[in-house]
Structure 1
Amino acid sequence: MRTRGWLARERELAAVGRLLDEPDDGPRGLLMVGEPGIGKTTVCAAAMDLAGDRGYLVLATRGSQSETGLSFAGLTDLLDEAADGLLRELPEPQRIALEVALARRMPGPAAGGQREVGMAVLAVLRRLCEHRQVLIVLDDVSWVDTPTVEAVRFALRRMRTEPIRILGTLRLDQIASALWREIPVDELRLEPLNAGAIEQLLSSRLDLTLPPRVLRALVERTAGNPFWALEVGRALARQPGGPTIDLPLPASLIAVVTERLTGLEASTRAALIAVSALADPTVSLALQALDSVVANPGKALDVAVTVGVVVETAGKLRPAHPLLGYAALEALPPGGRSALHRRLAEIVKDPEQRARHMAVAAEPPDAEVAVALDEGASVARARGATGGAAELVELAVDFTPPDDRWALCRRRLEAAEVLYAVGEPERAARYVDENESADMPPDLRRRTLPFRTELTYWARGAPAAQELIRCTIAEARDDQHLHAVALAMASDVGDGRGGDRD
């Protein structure tokens, strides 16, 4: 195996081997849990090599904090290449939905939904499984965007005999998503490395050999965390007179990372910040983000890659470790953070990304940001990313100026519609309540009464829906249109006076 030599993760790799060699048909999973920096991503890479050696087709994505709001970013990683020869075999609604989700086609007037995307993912995975066993890798799964996770979950729930395996990694402080309840899953906690493994790690990565007493002190103080050990090893290597047991150890991991960032040149740190803040950081986009910020954007990126804080693969960039990117962004003062996101909002093309950057850069209320969030939500819904759209429409409500009564009512209803679509009727009903108390414009009351009645019925029961109809009928004597709509709804759910739906 190609990456196994210095890992010292025999227990974890043995668990991966059992997952891959499991003879039973149908989906099976392994969820590896550990603290930040413990080596989950490194074990994932080794597991992918192991799967490749066994003839598996490996579909992988790595979650990123900056990409959690980028709908179907993970699905693009998983299926962009694998689906090439299969798209034409899909039924047209599924093919179009998947092409839109993978950003291969612009959304059309008849927007597909999460179900169509899920059905397309199911069809693609089934066809792939006809020829080879498939391993899906979801590294840092809590940071994989929700629409991707839901599409995979939709497919797994319907697979019975297909030879598919799922490998995921999760931080200790995060909660496993509902995806892992759909299939038999083993959970494995990654333990700290021992002194021998840390010694090999320092030698292979840093060409650093420590005296036994210093090594023991390092392992004890870092609790065997490989990321901590590497960071401290770099600090030891810079010590005048060579490493001693007087370790230059900050009190926490964040302090270690901050020390690493402090040692960077300003332009290198700016490159790391730009890459960390972008949801889809290509080289060209990162260069645009650095333009006018540093004297030589290309050199800044090159240095960031050379010193090991940014990694480049096939034109895509990412922080060398998620904690580096997180710490770099958190270290920015509020004004600097706002300026960064305003700049990024001007260069990104995707309306979803643009809206999110604008929202981070501004303080509500802000009518311009609210409009951008509207546009981003529309794109997300058109792509079938209903969960992402829900987040954006709720932000749009928050950013709407209170005196823009019509826009506020409309956006509350849009929020209610999207939340209802993703299965959160109680939260949806709260937005409807806010509109009722705010005295909705008459045309909006007429147009949305059927939805408001249906939502109230399913969120709070028939009596509440009937009360809504009774009040509407009583208040709409001078509005014949609204009165007629209310009577039509009464014929469906009843008005509490007999002849009810139940």
Structure 2
Amino acid sequence: MVACTGSGCRRGGAELPRQTPDSLFLGRQEELSRMTSRLEAAARGAPQVVLVDGPAGIGKTSLARRFLADAAAECCVAKASGEELEMELAYGLVAQLAPQLPDVPEGLREPALGTPGGAAARDPIAVGALLLDALGQAQSRAPVVVLIDDVHWADTPSLHALTFALRRLRRDRLLAVLLTRDAHDPRLPHGLHRILHDETTMKLTLEGLALPDIVALQAALGPSALPRWAIARLREHTHGNPLHTKALLQQAPADVLSGHAVLPAPRRYERLVSARLARCGAAARDLVKAASVLGVTCSLHQAAQVGEVPDPLGALTEAMTYDLLEEAPADAVPRLAFPHPLLRAAVYRGLRPAERSRLHHRAAACSEDRYGALQHRVHAAVAPDGELTDELIRFAAEQAEKGAWAAAAASAIAAAGLSPEAGLRERWLVRAVEYRLLAGDVSQAAELEQTVRDMAPDAEQQYVLGHLALTTGRLEEARRRLAACWESCDADTGAETLRKAAEQMAWLCLIQGDAPNIVKWARLGLDLPRGSRSSFLPDSLAIGLAISGRYEEGIRSLAHLPLSGPRQTPGQLDGLLARGMLQLWNGQLPEARRDLREAFAAHRGGGLPYAALVALGFLTDTEYRSGLWDEAVAHGTQAVSLAEDTDQISILAVVHAFTAFPLAGRGDYEDAEAHARAAMQHARTLADVNDGAFAATALALVHTARGDDERTVAELSPFLSEEIAHRSGLEEVGIVAWRPLLSEALTRLGRTDEALDVLIPYESGATARRRWLEQATAARCRGLLEEAYGHREAADQAFRNGLRLCAQGTTCWEEALLHLSYGTFLRRTGKRRKAVAELEAAHTNFLRLRATPYLERCTRELAACGRVTARPGGVRHAGLTAQELTVARLARRGMSNREIARELVLSIKTIEYHLGNAYAKLGISSRMGLIAKLDEEG
């Protein structure tokens, strides 16, 4: 398979009739058939991903073009390609896709997605959500095919946004075709790697042309047939690579190919393109050259300005005649594009240095945004430029203040490359590594690690290497590097560097459960002048104090925070996450939900990416404890997905664990255990004691819901070890609920004395802290224990104390458990009438939460009381899933499908699918029925 891209093909110096791409497409029928089958599946509402990989010139692009021309001819097609020259241009790939999609959201219509006022100032999740919305709208008309060529050269923010969108396709009519030289390229984000290597992704690894295909290719290119043995030798020489094979057939005389001398190497592709360009008139040549400076796609007007072309339409027509340019989809003004990124690169690299620099200078002058102008000036530079370096440094600093880390990193790297001062070069290369880490581009940051290591050691270098080591799980190296930052500081070391080093050291101590040193490093950092960006130091201090048992002091440390928003400055935001966490641990559930929601939104809007995900994780825990399980499942799933999509590895354990909590309560054992075990694996990777406790608690909740007390005990008993129990705040009540779970399991196993030993420290802590929710949990465990001992009056008193505490607090999951435990106790003591009242209260809550294991136990207890509780046909909304119920509730509020899709960050087709299922299960046919049905069933 190969396609001729020239206006005419030559062999042996003779001009040949122009061949169409179709006439030269050879082989690959099996690949086309398999791709077509995937497109048919996508058209039925099962989204598909196809990966095509192979070396340069093997025919990936030609295969994709033939597929689009044949099987996908009736589809909505959006094409984009990575480009080596634009790898640092934030959202360059998304900017190519957007104009090709109908009804593009306003946020993707900006002149340049990489501008400071555009998407560069947003995180990839926001851009991914907009892209998802656009794809959802497009498929309402026809199946959508998204083709991304040269994925390995795409800018990382676009890849994160694309990954975000692809992971949220459920019932969508969409096929994504991704072309790359190496599917294992370490530069690709981890989230995209997971998609590329998922078992549902179809992988096509292209190999060289077969001998019959080369015979057909040679016949198509020239009248003189080569001997079969010569074609076999040519195939061996080129390994069947279509690009190299075609180049030799075009350029080498027949007697050379059929002779016995060593075959020549193919001339560079640039020479073939140069020959075509030379056949164009001056205006067309100028337009093509200007376009090559502006990118794979650009507006016709801008290319004409840069190339000083008086008749751009005429020049474009001539360039299209020679297959050098083609018209690109446009909303309004005409746009042009190169048929292939390789063609654009050939033209660009064929420019004389002076000509290339001059065109970039013109492009900078014509650019409508500061970011684009700076990039063109960088490409135009021919020597170190102090003035331009200073502008890039200012721009990088501005972007960093906004939290636009990808744009900051690109500018920092450019500044390093253009600086006339060696010291300045090193300093901004080091900053670029930090910015890449904050942007979630861990693999790209790691690419520069050796370069940074080779620099003369100083405080900032040690800080960045420590930050990178911590992010990648090398904790001991991180500790050594961050400590060296402090030890090597001198009069020239900026206070901001030391603050950030202290921030990372406090985070490291938090991971390792070293509460005294969390407080120590947080205070060391806070004693330094405040920096310009958000900092985790106030949060670290409050959390460190809280898990050390100094809760009130921790709350006082956050007195600077206003009660509510806006959260537009670090002073209004820093510490908000910690306040939400401390309120959660203190049982102030509504207040915790408010602060954690605000912290998530504010950190997503320009704060610290990892802090945003921690906030979403603890919001999940808050909603689980509050008995808001639909919200907990939705937010937990979202937190896991966002952490994976942005490579925030250090957050994954805790968000996986919290997501398992409500799933375990609902009896979704397979999903719950998968999340819990993923949490355990991540905790082990980081040697994180805190995350290990959350993961073990998640597994214990699964075992408890299953009624497997032996496994609950086995999971939690290690925390009785003196070495573990007094680390990381595991004994601070309200943080990790391992003691009540373990005490309850031991009681059920008849190991009452052990259960009592486990319970007493928890009871004492809950009482000392006056935490109503923990006191209520302790009272339930005490009631179960006293019942096991045969102390009926003490058990009755304990259960009633727990319910009294719940009545004084807010709605919570613990109250339902208390009603069940107390009702079971009353039934066993012969007080059936009282038992029924308690059990029915529990039954109502279990129905509302869809807590199937507990609902079944409650039903059995009611039956033992002589009360048969038949589950109504519409129980818990007829078995709606969490997503179906969430979608139905939002629809009930009057939100459109598009508004719901944006709220839940899902595609419109997925919303339609969930809503359709909800209608069927509820026995209704339209939104009108949702109002009565959802009200009727709770």
TM-score (norm. length: structure 2): 0.42
Q: Report the alpha carbon displacement of residue 44 of structure 1 after superposing the two structures with TM.
A: 0.8
Q: Which runs of 5+ in 2 are unaligned?
A: 1-19, 329-333, 450-459, 468-481, 555-727, 729-938
1:230 pairs with 2:249: no
Residue 464 of structure 2 is aligned to residue 430 of structure 1:
yes
Are 1:69 and 2:79 counterparts?
Answer: no
What does residue 91 of structure 1 align with? none
In 2 relative to 1, CA 318–232 (structure 1 residues): closer, same or farther, beyond 3 Å? Answer: farther
Residue pair 1:136, 1:165 contacting (<8 A) in 2 also: yes
In structure 2, distance between residues paired with 1:403 and 1:242: 56
Letter in 2 for 1:492: A
Aligned 1:79-478 pairs, distance under 5 A: 79-84=98-103, 87=105, 95=106, 97-100=107-110, 103=113, 107=117, 111-130=121-140, 132-172=142-182, 175=185, 177=188, 178-182=191-195, 184-201=200-217, 208-213=222-227, 218-236=234-252, 245-246=258-259, 251-253=264-266, 255-257=267-269, 259-260=271-272, 265=278, 274-279=290-295, 280-291=297-308, 308=323, 310-314=324-328, 316-317=335-336, 321-323=340-342, 325-326=344-345, 341-342=360-361, 344-360=363-379, 361-364=381-384, 366-372=386-392, 374-375=394-395, 386-396=405-415, 399=418, 416=434, 419-422=437-440, 424=442, 429-430=463-464, 445=495, 453-458=502-507, 461=510, 466=519, 468-469=521-522, 471=524
- Superposed displacement of residue 278, structure 1: 2.8
| Native 8 Å contact 2:503 2:521 kept in 1 | no
Residues 450 and 381 (structure 1 numbering): CA distance in 2 closer, same or farther, change over 3 Å? Answer: closer
Task: Tell me how far 1:185 sits from its aligned partner.
Answer: 0.8
Q: Which letter does structure 1 place at the counterpart of 2:68?
A: M
Task: Give the residue type in structure 2 aligned to 1:245.
Answer: S
Residue 379 to residue 56, structure 1, CA distance change in 2 (3 Å): farther
Tell me if the contact between 2:115 and 2:372 (Cα under 8 Å) persists in the aligned partners: no
CA distance, structure 1, for counterparts of residue 530 and residue 148 of structure 2: 56
Give how far 1:170 is off: 1.2
TM-fit CA distance, 1:154: 0.6
Give the whole-Å Cα distance in 1 for the aligned partners of 2:547 and 2:441.
30
Structure 2 CA distance for partners of 1:231 and 1:284, relative to 1, 3 Å = farther
Is the contact made by 1:355 and 1:373 (CA closer than 8 Å) also made in structure 2? no
Relative distance call for 1:329 and 1:456 in structure 2 (3 A) is farther
1:47 partner letter: F
Shift of 1:98: 3.6
Q: Is the 8 A contact 2:306 2:363 kept in 1?
A: yes
Residues 1:439 and 1:235: Cα distance change in structure 2 (over 3 Å) = same
1:118-149 Cα deviation digits (max 9, x unpaired)? 22222333344455433221122222332222
Q: 1:248 to 1:395 in 2, by over 3 A?
A: farther
CA-based RMSD of the aligned residues comes to 5.3
Q: Determine which of 30, 36, 49 is the counterpart of 1:29.
A: 49
In the alignment, the residues of structure 1 paired with residue 285 and residue 260 of structure 2 have an alpha-carbon distance, to the nearest angstrom, of: 25
CA shift, 1:153, in A, is 0.8
Report the 3-state secondary structure (helix = DSSP H, G, I; strand = E; otherwise coil) of the residue aligned with 2:72: helix
Between the aligned partners of 2:216 and 2:96, the Cα distance in structure 1 is 32
Please give the alpha-carbon distance, in whole angstroms, between the structure 1 residues aligned to 2:205 and 2:128: 30
1:62-81 alpha-carbon deviations (Å, 9 max, x no partner): 33333333333322333324
Using the alignment, how far apart are the partners of 2:108 and 2:294 within structure 1?
A: 24
For residues 243 and 412 of structure 2, what CA distance do their matches in structure 1 show? Answer: 38
Task: Find the aligned partners of 2:347 and 2:115 in 1 and give their Cα distance.
Answer: 35
Question: What is residue 31 of structure 2 aligned with on the other side?
Answer: 12
1:162 partner SS: coil
CA spacing shift, 1:487–1:231, aligned 2, 3 Å: closer
Counterpart contact for 1:34–1:189, Cα < 8 Å:
yes
Identity of aligned residues (%): 23
| CA apart distance, 1:291 | 5.0
Change (3 A) 1:114 1:196: same
State the 1:410 CA deviation. Answer: 10
Letter in 2 for 1:187: K
Amino acid at match of 1:395: A
Q: Take 2:349 and 2:245, find their aligned partners in 1: how far apart are those partners?
A: 22
Q: 1:190 to 1:460 in 2, by over 3 A?
A: farther
For residues 189-244 of structure 1, the C-alpha deviation after alignment (integer angstroms, 9 at most, x for no partner) is: 1222234434544566x5x23313265555454433322233223324xx5x9886
Shift of 1:350: 3.9
Q: Partner letter of residue 210 of structure 1?
A: S
**Residues 107 and 215 of structure 1: CA distance in aligned 2, closer, same or farther (over 3 Å):** same
Aligned pair partner of 2:77 in 54, 58, 61 = 58
Asked if 2 retains the 8 angstrom alpha-carbon contact of 1:232 and 1:249, the reply is no
Deviates more, 1:124-133 or 1:410-419: 410-419
* Alpha-carbon distance, 1:417 to partner: 5.5
Contact 2:128 2:164 (8 Å CA) reproduced: yes
- CA separation in 2, counterparts of 1:68 and 1:11? 33
Q: Secondary structure of 1:212's partner?
A: coil
2:81 and 2:341 in contact (8 A); partners too: no
1:487 and 1:26, CA in 2 relative to 1: closer, same or farther beyond 3 A?
A: closer
Change (3 A) 1:410 1:459: farther
- Cα distance, 1:307–1:40 mapped onto 2, change above 3 Å: same
Counterpart-to-counterpart distance in 2, 1:330 and 1:248: 32
* RCO higher in structure (CA 8 A, sep ≥6): 1
Which protein is bigger by CA-based radius of gyration?
Answer: 2
Three-state SS of the structure 2 residue aligned to 1:52 is coil
Which letter maps to 2:86?
Answer: E
Local SS of the residue matching 1:138: strand
Contact 1:136 1:166 in 2 (8 A): yes
Once the two structures are TM-superposed, the CA of residue 48 in structure 1 deviates from its matched residue by 1.7
CA distance in 2, matches of 1:497, 1:62: 50
Counterparts in 2 of 1:109 and 1:201: CA distance versus 1, 3 Å: closer
Q: CA deviation at 1:13?
A: 0.3
3-state SS in 1 of match to 2:52: strand
CA 1:320–1:395 in structure 2 vs 1: closer, same or farther (change >3 Å)? Answer: same
How many residues are aligned here? 473
Q: For residue 163 of structure 1, what is the amino acid of its counterpart?
A: R
8 Å CA contact 1:453, 1:465 repeated in 2: no
Q: Is the Cα contact below 8 Å between 2:159 and 2:192 reproduced in 1?
A: yes
- Label 1:56 to 1:370 Cα distance change in 2 as closer, same or farther (>3 A): same
Residue 66 of structure 2 corresponds to residue 46 of structure 1: yes
Pair 161,417 (structure 1): closer, same or farther in 2 beyond 3 Å: same
* Per-residue Cα deviation, 1:283-307 (whole angstroms, up to 9, x for no partner): 4444444459xx9999998876555
Structure-2 separation of matches of 1:390 and 1:105: 14
Residues 274 and 350, structure 2, Cα contact 8 Å, conserved in 1: no
- Runs (5+) with no aligned partner, structure 1: 88-94
Q: Does structure 2 retain, via aligned residues, the 8 Å contact 1:283–1:317?
A: yes
